[in-house]
Amino acid sequence: MIHWLAVIIAMAACLIIIIVRVFIGPGVPTRLVAFDTASTLVVTSLVILAMLFNDVVFIDVAIVYALLSFAMTLYVAKYIQGDKF
């Protein structure tokens, strides 16, 4: 059996580190990487919720969120680089 409290504490610690990096990051690319890491943490949280509640819907939402997050990261990285779309 998975100890859910330990998982929640680890996820919260990771989220705090990510939030700090987003707000005091030295540059825009670093903040983008931190935001992408936060998106990955959200997908991981959805998968953990699917395991906790034994519901497959969370997995579907996690897959869609991961795809949208990937597209957003590519779009913003291209914008930061300065190239035309």
User: Taking a C-beta distance cutoff of 8 angstroms, is the pair 40, 72 a contact?
Assistant: no
Give the predicted TM-score (pTM) of the model. 0.82
Query: Tens of pLDDT along 6-29?
Result: 888 898 899 999 999 989 888 888
Cα dihedral 29, 33, 35, 40 in deg (nearest 10):
160
How is residue 56 annotated by DSSP? S
Residue 38 structure tokens: 């936060």
Average pLDDT, the chain: 88
